[in-house]
Amino acid sequence: MTSRPNQTPTAPRASTTPHRSFTAHRCFIVPPYLLAHLASLEDPRLEHTRHAARRALESEHVFHTIRPGEPGTMRPPAAHPRASPDDDLSRPNRFISDAAGTETLPGRLVRSEGEPPHTDASVNEAYDGLGYTHALFCDAYSRASIDGAGLPLEATVHYGEAYDNAFWDGSRMVFGDGDGQVFSGFTRSLSVIGHELTHGFIQYTANLVYSGQSGALNESVADVFGALVEQHSRDQDVTEASWLIGEGIFTDEVEGTALRSMKAPGTAYDDDVLGKDPQPAHMDDFVQTDDDNGGVHINSGIPNRAFYLTAAGIGGNAWERAGRIWYETVTTEIKANADFRGFAGATIGVAGRIYGDGSGEVEAVRSAWQVVGVTS
């Protein structure tokens, strides 16, 4: 299913830091402002959607608390054992479970690594999506799973009843099936799977605080690598890619293509039921709000467009040079409370370190952040 990397990743040495408790934090793909809008609908024909959105919001309010940024060693124990030093870390280790319409995790294990396809399409979509995400990090960045140490990739499908979301809970991916009127199954979008697993990658690296600008960067980095997972799996260059996040999760009744557009934030949907995509593309339109942990989903459009402009300015395959710059920035250069300007400066510095201060890559990164108004 996936190509093998040119070099085999190696796991880092085990940390000697004493284990401390980990508070579960769920990162959701559907932003709360969209669910709140759906939950307020008065059209009796959309009663099912209204109730589904309300249930999803209730679930989100319980778990979506601000995480104060922690060292990368403070992580929950994996349900399945990590790879041993003798294992081939270039290969994924996947486990797919079925919640069967309940909200009990992890559910019943239905497909493990190397087993043949299941009769359930959602199981196979999740299994393949985990594999494509592992392949991007392994092939492009020689990283052994999202933690760099061969972490098993786990997912649960058919979570809840008509559940209108998908999320990363700190140790696994969880997919709802959608309400059937607005949202269809969330396993259908590879960018969603890549996005949510990238929250795990962020968790094990910069661990960006999930609030304000650092939270918007958390969401943006997840969008960046979610898009790159999709592009890498399809061998698409910058011009061939859609740059859409969540393409395929809307039903045919919705006037929209995806949850977000990285190329043109604010244009992903314009629908009588959903309303219009509110994401800004420039700092002049930055949304000051206390909702959604300080607007982490809405303001992510600004750094999203900066990455798209960087990739377009460099050209070729976005996961190679543009993606490398963002990867190195997240893994080596920024702290948990980074803001847009600090992140921008770090990407420019990384581009200079890798490609040279006078390179076209540096100019592409610098120009991108200027276009979106983060730097002058």
Active site positions, annotated: 196, 297
Please, are residues 262 and 245 in contact by the beta-carbon 8 Å criterion?
yes
DSSP conformation class of 11: P
Contacts 24+ apart (CB under 8 A), 55-62: 55/160, 55/161, 55/162, 55/163, 55/164, 56/30, 56/163, 56/164, 56/165, 56/176, 57/32, 59/103, 59/160, 59/163, 59/165, 60/26, 60/28, 60/32, 60/35, 60/165
Q: Cα–Cα distance between 359 and 320 in angstroms, integer? A: 15
| Residue whose C-alpha is closest to residue 26's, from 237, 197, 167 | 167
Q: Cα–Cα distance between 361 and 350 in angstroms, integer? A: 10
Tally of CA atoms within 13 A in the half-sphere of 210 that contains its CB: 21
Under DSSP, is residue 153 helix (H, G, I), strand (E, B) or coil? Answer: strand
Q: Cα–Cα distance between 101 and 159 in angstroms, integer? A: 5
What tokens does 363 get? 């100019």
The residue length of the chain stands at 376
What is the enclosing helix (H) or strand (E) of 129? helix 121-141
| Residue whose C-alpha is closest to residue 250's, from 242, 241, 259 | 259
Q: Determine what percent of the chain falls in helix, strand and coil, rounding each to the nearest 5.
A: 40, 10, 50
What tokens does 188 get? 């259908």
DSSP string, 264-277: STT-SBEETTTEE-
ω before 5 within 30° of 0 (cis)?
Answer: no
